[in-house]
């Protein structure tokens, strides 16, 4: 039975079953001509006229006739056909074995007679309604064109491996060029994304560089005239939109330029933004033509294959997606992965658990978005398979296309994905032969978990560049030269895990007193690194600075009752904190963290000659700290220096197993044994804590 007869027979059976003895069924039974279908109509006669069109019954599904992958609610533009490789131009097998089954006395001589070559692929390629996007993969606008190709002997039904709608694919961010005015000032301090994830760690490890790593950005193109794009590291790409010539990759929407800037904006040029992977080679592959436009699955699949086979990409960034699962896009991704090309994609902006592709494909690293509070952005898609890790993606500074020095702020998982792509470029630069699985291990082990461990909202957690480069290289991104031996393990531990920072690249200022602002900030960071979010809000004290490094932590500490001001609506952020006040705050925080206090025996203080100096509010906390091993001496009224603060925090964290990365409890790299006593800086107090 030939293909058309098979279609007619199946169609007739379906129509008869669905309509019983309706007038349409009777009309078809009495009709002696040919009929066929597309996804909306039944057509009667090969050369149909408008009056010959009959609408489908509601319960008829044409996708049951061919092996068509289809998601009913997913928008699409045309169809993708994957053909078998066996039917080549040289294949001389007879397609129609019985000539009389194919219109022996056809009314249209163009439809051919007798022996047909099976799958005359060259004629199919030359068909004006057909576009070949890859070897044996074609795109047509209507199913009608596939049927005509079968009827004309260009292809056979046996040639077709599958047909799927050419699903529409959407950018996962705001493409509109609005936001910052065009100014030329450095904007590093506006990049909360780098501050939150310690992105500066990326350029502090000697010889850790993404240079030579090729990153294909499949998006809306790139505005190479921007002051923060170093064209030395941009390779000519390709345009798949059909708008303009094939080499036109100039960005008309701003989306692709924003994404590219997140990956590789020029660092150290005194202009604009910084980036983690400046120096990586960018290849812009344009699939979005203009504002509000969509791409198709065939465009994306073609770009993925070209990125792999033509442009030599090591990494592909896909800040785009669809709720429809395209088999052809998945095939292209699997092909890329077989060549050790890493794929990173935006999780989607639906704000719900609907799977978004390509992020939900098993071979893809899906990236969700967080806001500056460390919480999942409300728009960020979650759910099974969508999110491997989360990264900054709400109100992030980006390059713009309005002018050579224009910038903007935008939101979307589109801008979270390239943050991870930049980290991937670092990893690939460190080891060009690294596999995606190994990169995923580094991501997993260095991400800061949320909600107690892996979950469908944050994946393995929020990326932390400082911990990532440590996992990647085995080296810390800092090199403090002013830390005494007794404090070194604790300082390294606190700095490595983002709880305390140095005062300069090579300085920790261990001997300086810890300020009240520094102490509550370190405690807040400890809370965040243990998987909790602290909202950005300003405190109400008259002597603090809104938007400063400590402001939200002060507001947080006051709101939960672990710290107070000093009176007259003042906080004294830069005043040194005493040892007894530091321990009291830590004691109160322990209750918040769910750490059992147990019964505190005040008699443990009797061993210390200076116990009488302890203020009433601090007696129980000091006894608790001694009993728990957090301190080994008192000196309650002395200032707590930064080295001693690091030891206090480290003991508190590791004793109570507060930090976990990749499921492993974070501990200092060496045991801490401080039992000696000394005097320091003209203050008669004990250094041991």
Angle (deg, nearest 10), helices 488-496 and 465-473: 120
68 CB-near residues (< 8 Å, 6+ apart): 79, 162, 163, 164, 165
548 catalytically annotated = no
Calpha distance 152→130 (Å, rounded): 14
Asked if 454 and 385 touch (Cβ cutoff 8 Å), the reply is no
Asked if 343 and 418 touch (Cβ cutoff 8 Å), the reply is no
26 CB-near residues (< 8 Å, 6+ apart): none
Asked if 87 and 119 touch (Cβ cutoff 8 Å), the reply is yes
76 catalytically annotated = no
Calpha distance 237→246 (Å, rounded): 9
CA distances 548 to 374, 526, 630, Å, are 17, 18, 30
Unique residue bearing structure tokens 């030599």: 312
CA distances 613 to 388, 610, 627, 633, 679, Å, are 52, 6, 18, 13, 17
Print the SS3 string covering 373-391: CCCECCCCCCCCCCCCEEE
Asked if 654 and 668 touch (Cβ cutoff 8 Å), the reply is yes
Q: What tokens appear for 496 in the block?
A: 């490595």
Helix (H) / strand (E) element for 367: namely strand 365-370
Calpha distance 490→623 (Å, rounded): 22
Asked if 476 and 495 touch (Cβ cutoff 8 Å), the reply is yes
541 CB-near residues (< 8 Å, 6+ apart): 554, 565, 569, 570, 571, 573
DSSP per-residue letters across 123-165: HHHH-TTEEEEETTEEEES-HHHHHHHHHTTSS-GGGEEEEEE
Asked if 329 and 295 touch (Cβ cutoff 8 Å), the reply is no
In degrees, rounded to 5, the angle at the alpha carbon of residue 592 between the alpha carbons of residues 590 and 593 is 65
Catalytic-labelled residue, pool 414, 446, 471, 530 = 414
The total of other beta-carbon atoms located within 10 Å of residue 67's CB is 12
DSSP per-residue letters across 280-311: PEEEEEE---STT--EEHHHHHHHHHHHHHTS
The whole-angstrom distance between residue 676's C-alpha and the CA centroid of its chain comes to 49
Calpha distance 571→515 (Å, rounded): 11
Q: Of 561, 629, 627, 555, give the one whose Cα is nearest residue 589.
A: 561
Catalytic-labelled residue, pool 34, 159, 166, 219 = 219
**Strand ranges (E), 581-676:** 660-661, 664-665
255 catalytically annotated = yes
144: exposed, middle or buried (C-beta count within 10 Å: 0-12, 13-18, 19+)?
middle
Unique residue bearing structure tokens 């500490």: 557
Catalytic-labelled residue, pool 255, 314, 430, 630 = 255
Calpha distance 278→233 (Å, rounded): 9
Q: Which positions are catalytic?
A: 219, 255, 414
């Amino acid at each position: 039975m030939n293909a058309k007869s098979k279609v007619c027979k199946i169609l007739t059976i379906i129509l008869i079953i669905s309509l019983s003895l309706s007038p349409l069924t009777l009309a078809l039974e009495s009709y002696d001509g040919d009929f066929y279908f597309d996804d909306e109509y039944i057509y009667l006669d090969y050369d149909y006229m408008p009056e010959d069109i009959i609408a489908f019954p509601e319960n008829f599904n044409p996708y049951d006739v061919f092996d068509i992958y289809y998601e009913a609610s997913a928008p699409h533009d045309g169809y993708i056909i994957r053909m078998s490789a066996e039917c080549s131009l040289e294949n001389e097998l007879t397609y129609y074995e019985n000539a009389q089954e194919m219109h022996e006395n056809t009314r249209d001589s163009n439809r051919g007679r007798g022996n047909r070559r099976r799958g005359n692929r060259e004629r199919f390629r030359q068909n004006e309604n057909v576009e070949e996007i890859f070897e044996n993969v074609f795109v047509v606008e209507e199913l009608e064109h596939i049927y005509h190709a079968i009827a004309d002997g260009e292809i056979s039904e046996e040639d077709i491996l599958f047909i799927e709608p050419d699903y529409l694919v959407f950018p996962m961010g705001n493409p509109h060029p609005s936001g910052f005015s065009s100014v030329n000032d450095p904007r590093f301090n506006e990049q909360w994304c780098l501050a939150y994830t310690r992105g500066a760690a990326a350029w502090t490890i000697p010889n850790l560089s993404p240079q030579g790593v090729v990153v294909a950005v499949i998006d809306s193109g790139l505005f190479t005239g921007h002051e923060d794009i170093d064209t030395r590291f941009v390779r000519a790409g390709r345009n798949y939109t059909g708008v303009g010539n094939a080499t036109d990759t100039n960005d008309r929407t701003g989306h692709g330029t924003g994404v590219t800037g997140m990956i590789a904006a020029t660092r150290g040029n005194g202009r604009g933004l910084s980036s983690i992977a400046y120096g990586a080679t960018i290849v812009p592959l344009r699939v979005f033509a203009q504002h509000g436009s969509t791409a198709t699955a065939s465009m994306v699949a073609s770009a993925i294959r070209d990125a792999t086979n033509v442009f030599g990409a090591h990494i592909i960034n896909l800040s785009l997606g669809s709720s429809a699962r395209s088999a052809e896009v998945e095939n292209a991704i699997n092909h890329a992965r077989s060549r050790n090309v890493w794929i990173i994609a935006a999780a989607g902006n639906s704000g719900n658990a609907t799977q978004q592709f390509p992020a939900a494909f098993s071979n893809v690293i899906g990236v969700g978005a967080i806001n500056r509070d460390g919480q999942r952005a409300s728009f960020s898609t979650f759910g099974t398979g969508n999110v491997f890790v989360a990264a900054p993606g709400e109100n992030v500074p980006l390059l713009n296309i309005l002018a050579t020095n224009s910038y903007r702020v935008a939101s979307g998982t589109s801008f979270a994905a390239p943050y991870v792509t930049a980290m991937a470029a670092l990893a690939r630069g460190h080891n060009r032969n690294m596999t995606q699985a190994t990169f995923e291990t580094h991501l997993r082990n260095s991400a800061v978990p949320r909600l107690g461990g892996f979950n469908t909202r944050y994946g393995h957690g929020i990326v932390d560049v400082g911990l990532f480069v440590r996992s990647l290289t085995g080296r810390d991104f800092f090199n403090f030269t002013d830390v005494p031996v007794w404090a070194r393990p604790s300082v390294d531990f606190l700095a490595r895990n983002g709880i305390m920072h140095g005062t300069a690249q090579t300085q920790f200022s261990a001997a300086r007193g810890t300020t009240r602002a520094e102490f509550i900030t370190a405690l807040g960071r400890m809370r965040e690194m243990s998987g909790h979010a602290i909202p950005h809000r300003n405190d109400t004290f008259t002597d603090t600075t809104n938007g400063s490094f400590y402001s939200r932590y002060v507001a947080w500490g006051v709101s939960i009752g672990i710290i107070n001001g000093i009176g007259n609506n003042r906080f004294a952020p830069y005043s040194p904190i005493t040892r007894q006040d530091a321990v009291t705050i830590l004691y109160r925080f322990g209750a918040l963290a769910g750490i059992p206090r147990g019964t505190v025996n005040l008699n443990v203080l009797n061993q210390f000659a200076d116990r009488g100096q302890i203020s009433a509010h601090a007696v129980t906390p000091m006894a608790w700290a001694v009993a728990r091993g957090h301190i080994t001496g008192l000196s309650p009224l002395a200032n707590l220096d930064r080295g001693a603060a690091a030891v206090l925090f480290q003991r508190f964290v590791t004793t109570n197993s507060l930090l976990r990365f990749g499921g492993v409890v974070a501990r200092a790299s060496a045991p801490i044994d401080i039992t000696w006593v000394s005097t320091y800086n003209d203050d008669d107090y004990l250094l041991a804590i």
